[in-house]
Structures are given as C-alpha cells and as structure tokens.
C-alpha cells in the first residue's frame, strides 16, 4: 500500500500542475490534488491510463484487503482477537477494521475506475469466498472470541460484494455495513469479555444454562448474536438486504448467472446455524438442573455489573435505532455514492450497470 502511494506520488507530472493559484510544485499526497491529477487530460488522453490504473489499484487494494481483512489475507485476525484484551478487541473490530474499507473508498475505488471495472470479478470472488468461508469456519470453533472474529471476516465479505456490484446502492450497503458492524461487533466482544471475566474461560463448552445463572449476560449474548446474523429490525439486516438487492440488479444488468446469489443465501443459513447452536449450548442447555461451571471453583455465580449493563444497553439501542430507522444514515450515504458515480465513474465508464 505504501509503495502504491509513493508510486502515485511520482506519477504526478510536476510540469503540468493543476494548482491554478500556482502554489503547488505539481506533486502532492493531498487526496483532492491526487484526484485532479488522476482525471486530468493531457496530449495522450487520460493522465493515468488504464494500465497504470490497474497496477496502482492492485498495489493499494492488496494493502487494504489485509487491513479489512478478507480471505486469504485474514489469518492474523483470529489470533489477534484472542490475545487482545476486551477493550482492544472492541476497538479493533469496531473501528480499526473499517479503516481498510475506508481506504478503499477514498483512494483506489474513487481514483481508478478503469481498474475497478477490470478487477470487478476478482473483488466479487474474494467477497463471496470471505462471506462463505468465514461463516463455515465459525461452525467449527470452540473459542468464543475466535468464532466472533471469523464472523467479522464473513461480514467484511458483505462489504466487498457491495463494492463489486458497482451500484450506488451496493456502495451504500457497504458503507452501512461498516457502520452497523462498528456497533454490533463491539457488543459481541463486550459479551466475550464479560464471559471471560465472570466465568474465567473462553470455551463455549465451559458454560451450560447461562439463562439460569447469569440472565444479563445471556440476554446480551442472545441480542448481539441475533444482531450479527441479520435479524430484521436490527442494523445488520438493513445492510445485508441492500447488498442482496444491489447484487440482484447487477446480475440482471450484466447478464451474469444467478449462481452468484447462492453464496449469500447459503451464508444466511450457516450464520443462523452457528449462532443458534452456540446459543443452545451456552444459554439454554441443561435448563434449571444446570450446575455452575467448574471454572468458578465454587465461587458465587456472577452477572453483569451496572457499568457493563449500561454499555450493552447503549450499543443495543443504536442497533435497534438504525434497524428501525435506517434512513437516518442511509440518506447521507446514498447521496455520497451517487455523487461519486455521477461525478467520477459514469463520465468515464458510462452508465455501467444501470445504477440503483
């Protein structure tokens, strides 16, 4: 990624600056200035031609795909979450992972439309693999944090698919998923932290009948898992639904096979499977006859403290708010994506996919 930025800097022509006030030398890391250079015409046509765009796009996207992360660049994430403290995992999942998608929107997606069209199938394939692989691997996890980490990889696949549709609605879906995941994933890792703090274990099999012993932890866990699997009227559902609609419009416009809809449909079932299975094992299994887990060594059965309850309630409130009234954020997101398409992409590529 850094090499791509340096290359982009040196590709700027110092002999043909677009600073009409005459205050620049012609080379800059300023994003608006780079955008001007990327779309400037000279005697040879577009300043950054299609081949140069492809090279720079690939260099930048590789870095951002690691940061996102997407399969096969995701292997660092599960262990990072397992080793991180609860606050670190909440910050990593809720904020830092989104920097990968943010960087994509700010640089390669906005600057290199020819390359975006060229690599569209590659991005769609990586997104589908991330979506399906992350969900399937979750089924085999026994560590609660690792399961949540792999679910994040699956959700990052939703972002990539939304981007690859090259539809305004698809890009708005990707942006909304960034926001929704930024609320839901900290709640998931907060539940993991509470589980570890109160039960001294991260193993899903270490607890049975949590609904009896720790109703607040059980309720928080159930709500956060329902939000993550995309339950209607919660924020995650809106992003996934928009992605599916944009994907359908894209497939129809391009004449692609509806086979591409199989991946997201499969993931909806698999995601529900691993969350409901984990819920059954940790919250309900054993019923009223369940004894406190051995990891407590005879200590009193704990539940969430008041500050933990407040944090969960705040995150849950935002999850419900943006699930019931998604237009609060979607209006701004959709306006921005239409502006990018109408101002930068369509003038070069034409009305590429019809646009919704």
Shortest CA distance to 208 belongs to which of 319, 146, 287?
A: 287
Q: In whole angstroms, give the CA distance from residue 258 to residue 252.
A: 8
pLDDT of residue 68: 92
Mean pLDDT of 215-222: 91
Do 319 and 225 touch, CB atoms closer than 8 A? no
The answer, yes or no, to whether residue 30 has pLDDT greater than 90, is no
Q: What is the pLDDT at residue 182?
A: 95
Residue with more model confidence, 295 or 209: 209
Choice between 254 and 123, residue whose per-residue pLDDT is larger: 123
Query: 203: which strand partners?
Result: 143
The pLDDT score that the predictor gives to residue 112 is: 85
Evaluated on CA atoms 196, 202, 204, 207, the torsion sign reads negative
The ranges assigned to domains in the chain are 1-48, 61-349
pLDDT bin (cut points 50, 70, 90) of residue 173 is very high
Residue 234 and residue 323 in contact, taking contact as beta carbons nearer than 8 Å: yes
Q: Is the pLDDT of residue 99 over 60?
A: yes
Task: Provide the pLDDT confidence category of residue 69 given band limits of 50, 70 and 90.
Answer: very high
Asked whether the beta carbons of 97 and 69 are under 8 A apart, the reply is yes
What pLDDT is recorded for position 283? 82
In which band, very low, low, confident or very high, does the pLDDT at 327 lie, cut at 50, 70 and 90? very high
Span 135-163, average pLDDT = 91
Q: Please report which confidence band the pLDDT of residue 64 belongs to, taking 50, 70 and 90 as the band edges.
A: very high
User: What DSSP element (H or E) covers 236?
Assistant: helix 235-254
C-beta of residue 81 within 8 angstroms of C-beta of residue 145: yes
Q: What pLDDT is stored for residue 273 in this prediction?
A: 82
| CB-side neighbour CA atoms (13 Å) of 116 | 25
177, 241 in Cβ contact below 8 A? no
Sorted by sequence, the CB contacts under 8 Å of residue 295 that are 6+ apart come out as 199, 200, 201, 206
Give percent above pLDDT 90 in the chain: 44
**Predicted confidence band at 186 (pLDDT cuts at 50, 70, 90)?**
very high
Closest CA to 104 of 119, 91, 89: 119
Q: Do 268 and 193 meet the contact criterion of CB atoms below 8 Å apart? A: no
The whole-chain average pLDDT of the chain stands at 83
For residues 29-47, one letter each, b for 16 or more C-beta atoms within 10 angstroms of the residue's C-beta and e for the rest, the string is: eeeebbbbbbbeeeeeebb
What span, in angstroms and rounded, lies between the C-alpha atoms of 226 and 266?
17
Band of pLDDT at residue 44, cut at 50, 70 and 90: very low
Q: Half-sphere exposure (CA, 13 Å, Cβ side) for 237?
A: 18
Return the closest-CA partner of residue 193 out of 71, 280, 94.
Answer: 94
Asked if residue 322 lies in contact with residue 238, where contact means CB atoms within 8 angstroms, the answer is: yes
Query: Which has more pLDDT, 241 or 355?
Result: 241
Task: pLDDT band for 39, please (50, 70, 90 cuts).
Answer: low
Could you give the percent of the chain with pLDDT greater than 70?
Answer: 85
Q: Distance between CA 191 and CA 225 in Å, rounded? A: 10
Q: What separation in angstroms does the CA of 128 have from each of 158, 239, 269?
A: 8, 16, 15
């Amino acid at each position: 990624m850094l090499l791509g930025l340096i290359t982009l800097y040196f590709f700027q022509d110092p002999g043909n600056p677009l600073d009409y006030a005459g205050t620049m030398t012609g080379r800059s890391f300023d994003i608006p200035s780079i955008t001007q250079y990327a779309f400037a015409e000279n005697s040879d046509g577009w300043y950054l031609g299609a081949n140069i765009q492809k090279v720079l796009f690939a260099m930048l996207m590789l870095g951002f795909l690691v940061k996102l992360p997407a399969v096969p660049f995701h292997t660092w994430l599960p262990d990072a979450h397992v080793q991180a403290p609860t606050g670190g995992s909440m910050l990593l999942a809720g904020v830092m992972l989104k920097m990968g998608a943010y960087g994509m929107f700010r640089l390669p997606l906005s600057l290199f439309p020819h390359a975006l069209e060229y690599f569209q199938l590659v991005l769609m394939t990586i997104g589908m693999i991330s979506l399906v692989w992350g969900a399937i691997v979750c089924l085999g996890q026994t560590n609660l944090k690792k399961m949540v980490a792999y679910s994040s990889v699956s959700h990052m696949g939703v972002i990539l698919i939304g981007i690859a549709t090259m539809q305004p609605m698809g890009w708005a879906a990707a942006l909304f998923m960034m926001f929704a995941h930024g609320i839901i994933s900290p709640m998931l890792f907060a539940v993991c932290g509470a589980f570890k703090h109160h039960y001294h274990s991260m193993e899903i099999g270490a607890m049975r009948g949590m609904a009896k012993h720790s109703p607040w932890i059980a309720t928080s866990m159930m709500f956060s898992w329902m939000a993550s699997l995309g339950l209607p009227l919660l924020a995650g559902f809106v992003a996934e639904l928009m992605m599916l609609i944009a994907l359908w419009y894209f497939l129809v416009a391009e004449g692609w096979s509806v086979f591409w809809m199989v991946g997201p449909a499969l993931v909806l079932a698999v995601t529900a499977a691993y969350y409901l299975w984990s819920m059954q094992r940790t919250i309900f299994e054993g019923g009223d006859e369940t004894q406190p887990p051995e990891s407590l060594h005879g200590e009193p059965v704990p539940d969430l403290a008041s500050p933990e309850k407040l944090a969960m309630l705040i995150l849950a409130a935002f999850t419900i708010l943006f699930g019931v009234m998604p237009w609060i954020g979607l209006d701004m997101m959709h306006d921005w994506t239409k502006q990018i398409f109408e101002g930068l992409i369509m003038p070069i590529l034409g009305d590429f996919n019809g646009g919704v």
